[in-house]
Every structure is written in C-alpha cells, then in structure tokens.
Structure 1
Amino acid sequence: MRGPTKHGKAVVVTGASGGVGRATAVAFAARGARVALLARGREGLAAAADDVRRAGGDALVVPVDMADAKAVEDAAQQVADAFGRIDVWVNNAFAGAFAPFTEITADEFRRVTEVTYLGYVNGTRAALRHMVPRDRGTIVQVGSALAYRGVPLQSAYCGAKHAIQGFTESLRCELLHDGSKVRTTMVQLPAVNTPQFDWVLSRMPGQARPVAPVYQPEVAARAIVHAAAHGRRREYWVGGSTAATLIANAIAPGFLDRYLARTGYDSQQEEPPAGQDGHGRTGNLWAPADGPHGYDHGAHGRFDGESTASSPQEWASRNRTRVGAGLLVGGVGAAVAAGLRRRNGRG
C-alpha cells in the first residue's frame, strides 16, 4: 500500500459517500491522491474517508448539499485551503425518482434537477474559480448512456443528464476560445451496482433495479481516474451496453422508443422481498440516505451476484491508441499474408 503524500494530486469527488463516488475516491487514493469527499451523509462520508486512508490517500470530509451553490463555493474554498490547490474535480452527486412522469410532483422533479444538474453546474463553477487562475486542472462530469438516450420511469434523471451534456459542451467551447489549459471531459456510464436502487424515491410496484448487464462501481472508477489524467478527450464510453445504446440511438432512435416502451418498465424493477412493496420508503431525495440513526451503504449495491468487474469495451476505450496500433499491425499482416497467397498461387 502506498502511503499518503502531501504532494499527491488534490482531488474533489462529489457524491463520495457511496456507489461510484465512493469507488472513485478509493481509486484516486490508491494512486496517492489527497481526496476531498463531498456529500450529505455523514456516516457514509466517515466510512469513505476510512476507505481512502486504507487505500493510501489523505481524506478530507466536507458535508455539503450540491444543490446549494453558496455551500459548494465554501466547500471548494475549504478544500483549497487544506490542499493548497484543486487539480481534479469529479462531479458525480445525483438524486433520482423511479416513477412515470405524471406521478412525480413538481417539487420532486425540481429537486432531482437541482441536485443532479445544478449540482454539476455549482461544482463546475466552484472548480473553475480555483483552476482558471492557475490555468490548469481537469473537471470530470460523470454521465450516463442516459445523457443521450432517455428511458421510461426516469424522466427527471434523464433530463438532468441531457442538460449536463449540453452544458459541458458549451463550457468546453468557451475554454477552447479562451485558450485555457483547464480541461473538461465526460464519462458515460452503463448500469452500475450501487446502493441507489435501495434508497431512490420509487413509485413502481416492484423494487427498483439496474437494467442488465450490470457493472461493478470499480469499472466506472477506473474510467473516471483515467479520464482525469487524459482530459483532452471529449468523453469516454464505459461498457459494451453504453456503446451499443448510444450507437443504436444515433442510428434508429424511433426503434429504441418502441423497444423501451415494451421492455423499459419490466427491466427496471424486480419482485421485492416478501412482505415489502417496491416503493422507496427511505428515499434520499430530501435527506441523506444514512438517516438520523447513521448507516453506511458502501460502494456496492445488492447486485454483486450478477455484476461484472471488468469491461473489454472500457479497457479498449482507455487504450484506444494501443488498440488502433494492434488493428493496424493486424491489417498489414493480413494484407501481406494475402499477397503471399496470391503470389504462391500464381507460382
């Protein structure tokens, strides 16, 4: 295990108390980073800080609601004061609601938007305030295949992810116009085995679940850490299902509309445990999921048995230069072999 260092990268991860944020914080810590953990749930943050220290990094716990712009600015200043700078800012915090649009109240839709979309806007603004004067730094927006392709029962979340995509493209153009060395990139994730499906607000008859195939949060974390180190690239796709969804949506969006209308309800829920209904009674929309009595949900959800810890597509995305060289060498080799066969045939 690598020991913590005061000279490691200064990294901020929002939504760091559980799920992808928790796994990402640990992945940065394993590389000797100093990691500021931003989220609402104090129990989850304390446990995440322990994970970061065990992995070899320094941890700074900053409880904050990402929907509160002033609180986020103050949190960023606290990180800068403690670490001396901010090298990487990972926007990951979100809230969601699993329900048909007509069953989501105006206040609930607004709250999902404020946390999931405006939380990214607030985090990005706070990060830029510290990065632009130094003319360096990378902002990683954790996205989803749903940033391009909306699905039923997640209208508020999909709308927010689409908004993040457009916002990030606008910001990237502005940074390029200014000749800034601050980079921003987006990582589009597949379905991930996180605790969110047990705490999300739900009005479905079944228990919320991710659409298969499901990936472990460490797969996402590896891609996010890689993206932070290679911020010049516009975005990364993680998982074969993400690539397939985005390509299919670009080619045949109408077909996907009809396909998801048929399959999207059943694929996002399962039979709840005996004696329970599927409605999320302890949703984290208005309060942290660890609640008044304290509970740490960790990085993983209840889907370990069906989740994969690797993704050939994610590896290829991180190593596309190597893959391209391999394809080139393979193509040249095939051409040479074909030429030899033709020559021998003529001989």
Structure 2
Amino acid sequence: MSRHTDSEVVVVTGASAGVGRSTARAFGERGAKVGLLARSEDGLEGARKDVQQAGGEAIVISTDVANPDEVEAAAETVENEFGPIDIWINNAMVSVFSPAAEMTADDYRRVTEVTYLGYVYGTQAALKQMRPRDAGTIVQVGSALAYRGIPLQSAYCGAKHAIQGFTESVRTELFHDDSNVQLSMVQMPAMNTPQFEWTKNRLPQKPQPVPPIYQPDVAARAICWTVDHDKDELWVGRSTVKAILGNRLIPRRLDNYLASGGYNSQLTDEPADTDRDHNLNEPMAGDYGARGPFDKQARDQSYQLWASIHRRTLTILAVLVAAIVSLVLGQRVIFSD
C-alpha cells in the first residue's frame, strides 16, 4: 500500500558511500522519502540512518545496478512503499586503476556494466515510471572525465564518455516527444570518497583523486540545485571547467600534459597494499560513509559552483556596478568641463 505524501520521492543508486551517501542525506534534510540502492548492506544501513537523522524517510534495497531486473524491481519497490518517484539519481560506479595494457576483458566488462549500463538501466527504470505521468527528474552523476580521458582509468573514462552520449541522445528524444521529464547531467571534479580505499588497483602506489579535491557534500549541493532548477548540465569545480574547455581548445596539448603529469597526480607516496580487497565484483564489508581519507586536502566549497548557481545575481550586480561607474565618470566629465 502506498504511503505517498507531498514530500519528494527520490531514488539514489550507489547510495551506500561517497557522493551517493551525501546526496541521500541532502535529500533527507529536505524531508524526502529516499530509496537507497547499492550492493553493500552495511553501507545501506548507514545511509538509512543518515537520511532518518536528517529528517527524511528511507528504504534500503540491495541492488546490483548491472542487473536490469534488479533495478526495475527496486523502482517498483520504491513506488509501492513511497509512491511515484519524483527524482532518480544515477551514481553507482566501480573502477580499476591500471594501465590499459594490464587490464583484462573481465575488468572492462564489469566496469562498463556497472558504471555505464547501470546508468542506462536506471534511466530506463525511471522513465518507465515517469513518462506515463509526464513528470520527474533524472540526474546522471558525471565527471570531467566524461569529456577528457586521463591515463590509468581507461575503463572509467570510457564509461563516463558513454553516459554523456547516452544522456544527450535520450534528452533529444524527450524533447521530440514534448516530455516534461527532465534529464540532467552534473559533471564532477575529483572527490574525497571511499572509492580510493576499495577500487581494484594495479598501480605501485595507493591511488588518490587528482587535485584539487572536493568533499562529496559539494557534489550533493550541486545535484540538489540541478534538480530544483531543471538544468540540463552543470559543471562543478574550476578543474572541471578547465578540463572540459581545455579539451575543446587544446586537446593535443592536454594529451602531452597528461602523458607527463597524469600518472604522478593520481598516486600517493604510500606503496600499494597488494593483498587489499576490492569491490569490483563484490561489495566490501563495513560502512565506509561518505568521505574518503583525503579530508586534509579536500575543499568544502567550490567558488566556481557558487558563481554558477548565483550567475543571475552576479550579472545584475555587474550591470549595476557598470551603471554606477558610468554615472560617476559622466559626472566627472561634466564637472571638468
């Protein structure tokens, strides 16, 4: 029996940790009813507590987004429990830190199934619920790497590029059908999430996000703002803007720059733990929370994001300042004459 009220009904994939965990909590602060999808039961229970403590309601659904039947069943469970889904956030991912020459076919297959096809299946499940009602918002959590590939992450970069193309294609179809369903993509910078503690790693040192690094709360704020403002695409962080625009203007120079500096920027000084478990095929035990091990380097704010969100206000202020300057200069000319 549905218990739907006027509060938002939200689904977040990859909700057990990282950006998904922060995003679920952010919607909980809005009083939303949140369907939490991920493989990690420990992480999902932690996310449930976060949402409830923030003021929302939550249901946990252990889901491997690489399985379309599980994703569709999860969508139906959320609708049966909370009512029509208003917002669907595709965020689940896995990756492998490795030179392409050392990757296996199974590595590429699994990363593609989760990080790309998981978004496809999530979008299809959401659209199945939203299109008949002609309402709803789907957000794809993307990356600067959707536009600019970097070394040592070929599978992940390929998946993010694929998501970008898929999203643009589906959005044009929604436009063609005059649909009121909103399909957005938020391109993220490097984030301080637990993925660097559990991602499969073939590198000689422990991996790290490419600086500058941001806290996942920054991503959550960007996602919530995108939902509220029907934004087709939002770039988060100065580094994301530089990567996307640089790839458009000087792609060959970026190739050479990344060839020389793109390796060390992803490595810490600590040797890799060759016996460490990873979550490529199975979830890690335990609750890792939203943040990773890089709190000291991570930023709590993005001035670029603030400027993007307040662009209209900044434009008005710029016009006012220009008008005041023009008036003052005009008066000086009058008095000097």
* TM-score normalised by length of structure 2: 0.96
Which residue among 256, 260, 272 is the counterpart of 1:277? 272
Matched residue, 2:298? 307
Q: CA deviation at 1:242?
A: 0.9
Matched residue, 1:126? 125
Matched residue, 2:95? 96
Q: Counterpart of 1:253 in structure 2: which amino acid?
A: P
User: What is the CA–CA distance in structure 1 between the aligned matches of 2:303 and 2:97, rounded to whole Å?
Assistant: 30
Show the 5 A alignment for 1:79-94: 79-94=78-93
Contact kept, 8 Å, 1:39 with 1:93, in 2: the verdict is yes
User: What is the CA–CA distance in structure 2 between the aligned matches of 1:212 and 1:333, rounded to whole Å?
Assistant: 40
Q: CA deviation at 1:54?
A: 0.2
User: What is the CA–CA distance in structure 1 between the aligned matches of 2:274 and 2:142, rounded to whole Å?
Assistant: 25
Q: CA deviation at 1:66?
A: 0.3
Q: CA deviation at 1:279?
A: 4.5
Deviations 1:180-201 (A, max 9, x none): 0000111000001000001001
Q: 1:280 to 1:325 in 2, by over 3 A?
A: farther
Q: CA deviation at 1:64?
A: 0.3
Matched residue, 1:161? 160
Contact kept, 8 Å, 1:143 with 1:161, in 2: the verdict is yes
Matched residue, 1:316? 307
RMSD (CA atoms): 1.4
Deviations 1:260-299 (A, max 9, x none): 1110100001122xxx525473111100122xxxx10000
Deviations 1:55-111 (A, max 9, x none): 000001011000001110111000111111100000000110111111110111111
Contact kept, 8 Å, 1:140 with 1:186, in 2: the verdict is yes
Matched residue, 2:190? 191
Matched residue, 2:234? 236
Matched residue, 1:287? 282
Deviations 1:318-342 (A, max 9, x none): 2222222222222222333333333
Deviates most, 106-115 or 321-330:
321-330
* TM-score normalised by length of structure 1: 0.94
Show the 5 A alignment for 1:105-254: 105-231=104-230, 233-254=231-252
Structure 2 segments unaligned to the other structure (5+ residues): none
Q: CA deviation at 1:11?
A: 0.3
Matched residue, 1:62? 61
User: What is the CA–CA distance in structure 1 between the aligned matches of 2:326 and 2:264, rounded to whole Å?
Assistant: 48
Contact kept, 8 Å, 1:204 with 1:279, in 2: the verdict is no
Q: Does 1:329 align with 2:320?
A: yes
Q: Does 1:10 align with 2:6?
A: no
Q: 1:145 to 1:278 in 2, by over 3 A?
A: farther
Deviations 1:116-145 (A, max 9, x none): 000000000000000001100000000000
Matched residue, 2:35? 36
Q: Say which SS state the counterpart of residue 166 (structure 1) adopts.
A: helix
User: What is the CA–CA distance in structure 2 between the aligned matches of 1:209 and 1:310, rounded to whole Å?
Assistant: 19
Deviations 1:221-269 (A, max 9, x none): 00001111122x2211111111121121111111111111110100001
User: What is the CA–CA distance in structure 2 between the aligned matches of 1:320 and 1:70, rounded to whole Å?
Assistant: 42
Which residue among 256, 261, 274 is the counterpart of 1:263? 261
User: What is the CA–CA distance in structure 2 between the aligned matches of 1:173 and 1:192, rounded to whole Å?
Assistant: 30
User: What is the CA–CA distance in structure 2 between the aligned matches of 1:255 and 1:331, rounded to whole Å?
Assistant: 37
Q: Say which SS state the counterpart of residue 304 (structure 1) adopts.
A: coil
Contact kept, 8 Å, 1:6 with 1:34, in 2: the verdict is no
User: What is the CA–CA distance in structure 1 between the aligned matches of 2:116 and 2:181, rounded to whole Å?
Assistant: 21
Alignment size in residue pairs: 335
Q: 1:280 to 1:297 in 2, by over 3 A?
A: farther
User: What is the CA–CA distance in structure 1 between the aligned matches of 2:274 and 2:324, rounded to whole Å?
Assistant: 58
User: What is the CA–CA distance in structure 1 between the aligned matches of 2:275 and 2:226, rounded to whole Å?
Assistant: 33
Q: 1:199 to 1:280 in 2, by over 3 A?
A: farther
Percent identity over the alignment is 53
User: What is the CA–CA distance in structure 2 between the aligned matches of 1:338 and 1:154, rounded to whole Å?
Assistant: 55
